[in-house]
Amino acid sequence: MQSPTPLRASLLAAGAAVAALLAGSLSAGVSHAADNSSCRPDGLYATPGVDVPYCSVYDENGREKMGADHQRRIIGYFTSWRTGKNGQPAYLASDIPWDKITHINYAFGHIDAANKLSVGADGPDNAATGMTWPGVAGAEMDPSLPYKGHFNLLNKFKKQHPDVKTLISVGGWAETGGYFDENGSRVASGGFYTMATNADGSVNQAGIDTFADSAVAFVKKYGFNGVDIDYEYPTSMRDAGHPSDFPVSNARRAGLNKGYAALMKTLREKLDRAGAADGRHYMLTVAAPSSGYLLRGMETFQVQKYLDYVNIMSYDLHGAWNEYAGPNASLFDDGRDAELAAANVYGSAQYGGIGYLNTDWAYHYFRGSMPAGRINIGLPYYTRGHKNVQGGTDGLWGKAAATSCPAGSGLTKCGDGAVGIDNLWHDKDDNGVESPAGSNPMWHAKNLEKGIVGDYVTQYGFPAGTRLTGTYARKYDSTLVAPWLWNAEKKVFLSTEDEQSVGTKADYVVDRGIGGTMIWELAGDYAWNAAKGQYETGDTLTSLMYDRFRSAAPYGAKKSNTALPTEAVDVDVEFTDFKLGDSNYPITPKLRITNNTRTALPGGTEFRFDYATAAPANASDQSGFGTKVISSDHTGGNVGGLKGDFHRVSLKLPAWQSLAPGASVDLSFNYYLPVSTPSNWTVAIGGKTYAIEGDLARGTTLVEPGTGGGTPSPSPSPGETGGTGGGGTCTAPAWSASSQYGGGTTVSHAGHSWKSKWWTTGEEPGKTGEWGVWQDLGAC
């Protein structure tokens, strides 16, 4: 199944310097606090009691503001280790095409032994905060900043390009479960696994709080616009992630999802509180898996509501971790994926003929729970490949079995990865040994295609006068939207990207209203150097996307494709009790419905919801609720792409079973490919259809069933008056998030009167629980 993302071996980083706040510009004329709720993206969680300044980042439709010529995101990972200090070509902040991109993710920060976000100990060799590049044009330090290194240069160029946002990316393949010490050796300390999850599988809230507090301090100190979490991987599938972490990660598999959800909720709330204090919205994003295998062990990816957007790692879909030679990042399935065919995915009626190792499948997985505009698809600016490929069509869907697997890979059966001149970036394992992978920057692949040996090869350990063996013929499959190089003499298959494939993917983003693209990594892009007669680092692919996106229509900002009720009720729905790992097939969680209203839900009450067409239309239940798919935007297999977004499902409380206020009921649910959290819920009560509050839809009003009016969901802006949900008039002053209340103070909020038990500020009535500060005096 899906391999880990590339071995991103960070250089030794070293430590922090003196505090500075350089956050990039806020949009001119930030709206009043009372207007901020109108800028909240659809489905984004709002921290209770906090007036988050969404309008500093989003417009009145909840779309991100990125500059007049950026209708879609172009997010580039910028890595710490291409410094030029090791004799290989440098890629510095001055090399970034700042006018073509919208966001930069700095790779990587890590979690240190104290559970704090770190880039290592301070010093002149620290690439992030201490290194300098004397004599390199564009790399002159900004003397107004108290730190040097990449962070200085990033902020220097942000002053010139204030619409570009920067995020600190934490983790990655090598640093999810550890970090690099002062000698450059990886320490398998536990990282995310131990920071968020205790040894018994419970949530490590103390570790999470420490990390989240340090993350807030870090972004403020170094001028970042937010945090990107690259946790690889909080899945219950055994042996996922870095093999060195297995003793820690496998022991915690049962609790990784809970820890991940608690981490993201805590980060969201702490960033929101800091943003409210600073008058700006701090962003929270993740790099998410794209493989159905890994996502099967991540329940329904419950964290999406805390994220400004998700970046799908829709690459590393095929590679030398197994014997199947296929595209690194195909856009669509072609019905002939050899890995899926070997697993009988196409032959199983339960899978519906849906191939799940492609970008389109991954996009639709997340589209089931998020607006298209809060999703970005991943693009690799690097290759993957095999040698000694047998069969297939010009290598495609052929096999290349290895006689043995690399030491420390955690694999017992793997593929014969390309090496030597076909593995220029030759990522190394923890023992410093090259990992056979066919990993090359795209500029080197372009030279191979043209039969050129670039003058840079000596910097990567190849002797002067190196010659190529055989011809690297470019091949392309229009169904997959995937190019590759095939060397028939060496039987080498290298999966690539170029203008044709990236142009088609850019059109796909525009046509479907997707938020944009994420690039791993910027240093792999290419340009032709006519003077030298070779390809080198450039911005050809990034510029192509910029040109396609600059005049595109605004991205899709709503979760639902149809109009939903504007009144919502407090009925909670949760998928829970998932089986773990390989036992989780078919996928059979409990669906728990909880009635938090004051009205009993009678037998026969109907619920409807959407789930993604990434799974077939065969969801059912085993509990007598009559679950059935009542409409589908797509049926059948997915060769060439899924044609629509949602299946619509209906289920009803059994006629004999009512649901009293405060009561819950469970039903046993059943489906066969993973889905993200089902959304666009409605419930019919007393002849009227309502939305549910938990969908966090823009513009909905929370009401009690059978009444009108209410308060905006998820919470009113400070200064708004209480509602009249109880049928009368609330005479007490309206609660305000910014006010301070002593014990015994009465306020009105959400159609109720509330009395404070002790001093409080910023804690929303109705959100603090039975034992919290606010006592519910009833409807008014």
pLDDT digits (tens, 9 = 90+) for 43-53: 999 999 999 99
Cα 69–chain centre separation? 24
Report the alpha-carbon distance of residue 733 to residue 721 in Å, rounded. 7
In which band, very low, low, confident or very high, does the pLDDT at 24 lie, cut at 50, 70 and 90?
very low
pLDDT of 394: 98
- Kindly give, in sequence order, each residue whose CB lies less than 8 Å from that of residue 501, ignoring residues fewer than 6 positions away: 331, 476, 481, 482, 483
Q: Quick check: 562 pLDDT over 90?
A: yes
pLDDT of 770: 56
pLDDT of 20: 30
Of 16-30, 125-139, 253-267, 675-689, least confident by mean pLDDT is: 16-30
pLDDT digits (tens, 9 = 90+) for 427-463: 777 677 888 999 999 999 999 999 999 999 999 999 9
- What average pLDDT does the segment 628-656 reach? 97
| DSSP structure string for 379-423 | EESB-EEESS-BSSBTTBT-B-B-SSPPTTS--SS-B-B--GGG-
Q: Quick check: 29 pLDDT over 80?
A: no
- Kindly give, in sequence order, each residue whose CB lies less than 8 Å from that of residue 713, ignoring residues fewer than 6 positions away: 568, 693, 696, 697, 700, 701, 702
pLDDT of 708: 64
Q: For 775, which DSSP code?
A: E
pTM score, whole prediction: 0.87
Cα 697–chain centre separation? 20
| Residues 515/372, Cβ–Cβ less than 8 Å | yes
| Residues 346/637, Cβ–Cβ less than 8 Å | yes
pLDDT of 116: 98
Report the alpha-carbon distance of residue 329 to residue 482 in Å, rounded. 7
Report the alpha-carbon distance of residue 11 to residue 363 in Å, rounded. 32
Of 68-77, 481-490, 501-510, 749-758, least confident by mean pLDDT is: 749-758
Nearest Cα neighbor of 316 from 330, 328, 333 is: 328
pLDDT of 85: 94
- What average pLDDT does the segment 53-60 reach? 97
| Residues 55/39, Cβ–Cβ less than 8 Å | yes
